[in-house]
Structure formats: structure tokens, C-alpha cells
């Protein structure tokens, strides 16, 4: 399966004009790569009973240490609001149900697998990839641990191992890519006893979500969270309560990386602005240099012997003129000619400072 990032890599590697054309093409191609058949999961919060078996299955599937399954039936854990961390890629939180206090709402959280992921756009080394199947995955071999993905993520999902110095990981739900390769369902979907999680093509699960919300307006509010939030996510939610109150961030419809990438590509635009700036500065330098040189020439006419050195070093924009004379002559000459040059360059710096000191 091709992934977006390889295309992006090509795009960034494009240096010349020809390569830049290639870049334009791959940028367009990456839009197309959001496959119509990409996958997703519908989280029906009104069906979830908060058994937290998904948390257990997730740990198992990712070889993370886990207490025995019995532990997960302890309801007190649900009393506090939890977030994914290095011990859990997914967690279930409980919220009050205004309509029926005996049936609290449970919301499972994990990576949303955005269609236009900010983390993928942000990652300095392209360690995060949006795959054609919809999943967003992290590459252990590339990550440098800068945590910019965490800054960028609009759902605040990626977590980091703050307690180790060597080989810290960025952790987040990987949509059980390994399991799916073997033809299995994602671990959480697989274990969910109530079918609160529906796995399938994103288009299909959106259809199911619309059906449910339309058919049972007494249970669901008319909002499929993730359908259009920041350009759409692979995981979508339906609920009987405003998503704000379920601590899902209120987000607009524009993809998160949109503005940032527009600025970035505007500044670079196939290296035209930087190269133009370089040429412009070069021209200014050349012009001012020539002007100074001709000004110098007028004043140096009677100094014909030292003048040669000056025109030599005059092409050198960095050194104060006169340094090169050292090469040809002894120590004293160096000092003297440097001294003279300064005075002769027409700015009187030396003289003035001397005057100050007297």
C-alpha cells in the first residue's frame, strides 16, 4: 500500500524546476490518495456500557503490561477523567446522562486518525504517516522525540515516555495495523461485547451513523462528531449529548495543517522566494561594493602602492579591507596599512575615536 508520506518525501526532495513540477503533481496525487475505501470506526456512545474490555484488549494487542481482565470491572476507575498515556492507547471515560441518570454515557478515546492529520504535517522527519487505508501510524525508526506532533494534534492524543532517556516512544493508537494485516479486526472492535464499535469503510459507517441519528432523534443529537471536524476523521462518534460536554474539543471544518502548510509553501514556493532574495542581496552587495570601491579609488590615487591590496581585498566583503596585505609584508606593514585603510575608507571612524580618546 502506498502511503502519502512517500509522496510528500518526493515533493520535499524536489529541488530543481523539473523536480518542482513533479512536486506539484505529487501534491495533487496525495489528495487522491485519500481512498474512497478508507476505513473507519463508529463509536456509539449510547451503546457503550463502560466495561473497558477494549482497554484490556488494546494493551494485549500492543504487548503493553496489563492487569487481569477482572480489574477492568472496577467501576471506581471511571470516576476520574483519564487520558491516553504510555500505559494505555485508549481509555473510556464516563459522563452523566441527563436523560437517564442510571445510564451514564461512556466515551472511548483514542487517536481519531484524521483525514488531514496535523501530526503528519508537523513531524520534522516524517515519522508519522497517513496511510491509504485511513490509519495514521508512527515510525519508530525515524522519530527524534521532538514532540511537535503533540503540539500539533487537535485532539491532544500522542503521548511521550517522559521517564526514560534512551528510546522514548511517541505512543498512540495505530488502528491495529499489524492485526489487520493478518485479517483480524482492531483489538478493541473485536472484543467489544455490545458492538458499540462498528468497523468498516468510512463511507459505510457514516451511513450507519446517519441512519441511527435520524431514526432515533430521542436518543441521539443530530451531530456526527468527526464527519467534518478538521476535515474529517476516520473514527466518528454519535451521542445523546453535546460533544463539548463529553470533553470532545469543538473544532471547525478546516483541516488543521491548512494554514500552516499554506504559509510554509508560500514562503518556499519551490525555492523561488529564497533564491530571489539571495539574488537581490547579491545585487545590492555588488552595487554598494562598487560604489565604495570607486569612492576609495578617488581617495587612494596618491596611495598607489597600497591601493593594489585594497582592490584585492575590496572584493572580499567580509574582512575589513587591508588584512590581506599581511600576506605580502611584515607585521608592521599589516598594522599600518590596516590603519590607513580605515582612515582612507572615508568614514573617519579611526580619527573620530582617536579624537575621543585625546
Partner 1 sequence: MKPAPVKHRFFTPGVIILAVLALNGLIFLAVRFISGLGAVTNLDNNTPWGLWIGVDVAAGVALAAGGFTSAALGHVIHREHYHAIVRPALLTALLGYTFVAFAVCVDIGRFYYIWHPLIMWNGNSALFEVGICVMIYMTVLYIEFLPIVTEKFMGKVNLPGFLETFNEPADKLLRMLNSGLSKTMFIFIIAGVVLSTLHQSSLGTLMVIAGQKMHPLWQTPVLPLLFLLSAIAVGFPMIIFESLIASRSFKMKPEMKILSRLGSMVAPILGVYLAVKIGDMFISDDFKYILKFDVPAWMFMAETGLIIIAFVLFLSKETTRSPGRLFLASSLVIAGVLFNRINNFIVAYKPLYDPVAYFPSFGEISVTVGCIALLVLIYRAVVIYFPVISHK
End-to-end CA distance of the chain: 79
**Residue 259 interacting with partner 1 (CB under 8 A):** yes
**Residue 344 interacting with partner 1 (CB under 8 A):** no
108, 138, 213, 214 from 218: Cα distances, Å: 22, 40, 9, 9
**Residue 261 interacting with partner 1 (CB under 8 A):** yes
Minimum distance from residue 111 beta carbon to partner 1 (Å): 13
Q: Considering only 65-73, 130-138, 158-166, 303-311, which stretch makes contact with partner 1 by CB under 8 A?
A: 158-166
Residues between 19 and 38 that touch partner 1 (CB under 8 A): none
Residues between 194 and 223 that touch partner 1 (CB under 8 A): none
User: Of the candidates 42, 152, 187, 196, which one interacts with partner 1 according to CB under 8 A?
Assistant: 152
What lies within 8 Å, CB to CB, of 245 at 6+ separation is: 95
Residues between 102 and 131 that touch partner 1 (CB under 8 A): 118, 120-127
Query: Nearest-CA neighbor of 121 among 258, 24, 237?
Result: 258
Minimum distance from residue 79 beta carbon to partner 1 (Å): 14
Secondary structure string (H, E, C) spanning 59-106? HHHCCCCCCCHHHHHCHHHHHCCCCCECCECCEEEEECCCCCCCCCEE
Q: Lay out the site mask for partner 1 across 56-85 (x = CB under 8 A, - = otherwise).
A: -------------------------x-x-x
Distance CA 48, CA 102 (A): 14
Task: Output 126 or 200, the one with its CB closest to partner 1.
Answer: 126
Minimum distance from residue 183 beta carbon to partner 1 (Å): 31
Backbone angles phi, psi at 55, to 5 degrees: -60, -40
**Residue 144 interacting with partner 1 (CB under 8 A):** yes
Residues between 296 and 315 that touch partner 1 (CB under 8 A): 313, 315
With the CA atoms of 275, 276, 282 and 283 taken in that order, what torsion angle do they form, in degrees rounded to the nearest 10? 160
Task: Output 213 or 233, the one with its CB closest to partner 1.
Answer: 233
* Total chain residues near partner 1 (CB under 8 A): 93
Decide: helix, strand or coil at residue 132: coil
Q: What is the DSSP letter of 26?
A: H
Distance CA 183, CA 268 (A): 43
Element (H, E) at 191: helix 187-191
Q: Considering only 54-62, 96-104, 137-145, 184-192, which stretch makes contact with partner 1 by CB under 8 A?
A: 137-145
Q: Considering only 45-53, 70-78, 156-164, 207-215, which stretch makes contact with partner 1 by CB under 8 A?
A: 156-164
Distance CA 179, CA 315 (A): 66
Task: Output 161 or 227, the one with its CB closest to partner 1.
Answer: 161
**CB-based contact 322:337 (threshold 8 Å):** yes
**Residue 326 interacting with partner 1 (CB under 8 A):** yes
Amino acid at each position: 500500500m502506498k502511503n502519502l508520506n512517500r509522496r510528500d518525501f518526493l515533493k520535499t526532495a524536489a529541488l530543481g524546476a523539473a523536480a518542482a513540477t513533479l512536486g506539484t503533481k505529487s501534491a495533487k496525487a496525495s489528495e487522491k490518495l485519500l481512498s474512497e475505501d478508507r476505513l473507519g470506526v463508529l463509536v456509539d456512545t449510547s451503546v457503550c456500557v463502560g466495561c473497558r474490555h477494549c482497554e484490556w484488549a488494546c494493551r494485549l494487542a500492543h504487548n503493553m503490561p496489563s492487569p487481569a481482565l477482572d480489574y477492568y470491572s472496577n467501576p471506581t476507575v471511571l470516576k476520574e477523567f483519564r487520558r491516553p498515556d504510555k500505559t494505555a492507547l485508549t481509555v473510556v471515560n464516563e459522563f452523566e446522562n441527563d436523560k437517564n441518570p442510571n445510564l451514564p454515557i461512556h466515551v472511548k478515546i483514542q487517536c481519531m486518525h484524521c483525514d488531514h492529520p496535523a501530526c503528519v504535517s508537523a513531524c520534522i522527519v516524517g515519522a508519522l504517516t497517513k496511510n491509504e487505508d485511513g490509519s495514521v501510524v508512527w515510525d519508530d525508526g525515524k522519530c527524534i522525540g521532538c514532540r511537535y506532533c503533540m503540539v500539533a494534534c487537535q485532539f491532544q492524543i500522542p503521548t511521550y515516555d517522559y521517564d526514560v532517556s534512551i528510546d522514548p516512544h511517541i505512543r498512540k493508537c495505530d488502528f491495529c495495523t499489524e492485526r489487520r494485516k493478518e485479517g483480524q479486526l482492531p483489538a478493541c472492535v473485536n472484543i467489544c461485547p455490545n458492538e458499540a464499535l462498528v468497523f468498516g469503510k468510512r463511507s459505510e459507517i457514516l451511513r450507519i451513523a446517519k441512519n441511527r441519528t435520524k431514526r432515533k432523534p430521542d436518543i441521539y443529537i443530530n451531530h456526527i462528531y468527526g464527519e467534518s471536524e478538521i476535515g474529517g476523521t476516520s473514527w466518528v462518534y454519535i451521542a445523546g449529548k453535546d460533544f463539548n460536554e463529553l470533553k470532545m474539543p469543538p473544532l471547525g471544518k478546516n483541516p488543521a495543517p491548512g494554514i500552516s502548510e499554506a504559509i510554509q509553501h508560500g514562503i518556499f514556493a519551490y525555492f523561488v522566494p529564497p533564491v530571489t532574495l539571495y539574488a537581490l542581496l547579491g545585487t545590492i552587495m555588488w552595487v554598494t561594493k562598487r560604489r565604495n570601491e570607486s569612492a576609495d579609488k578617488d581617495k587612494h590615487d596618491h596611495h598607489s602602492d597600497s591601493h593594489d591590496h585594497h582592490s584585492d581585498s575590496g572584493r572580499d566583503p567580509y574582512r575589513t579591507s587591508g588584512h590581506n596585505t599581511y600576506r605580502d609584508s611584515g607585521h608592521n606593514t599589516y598594522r599600518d596599512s590596516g590603519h590607513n585603510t580605515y582612515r582612507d575608507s572615508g568614514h573617519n571612524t579611526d580619527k573620530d575615536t582617536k579624537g575621543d580618546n585625546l
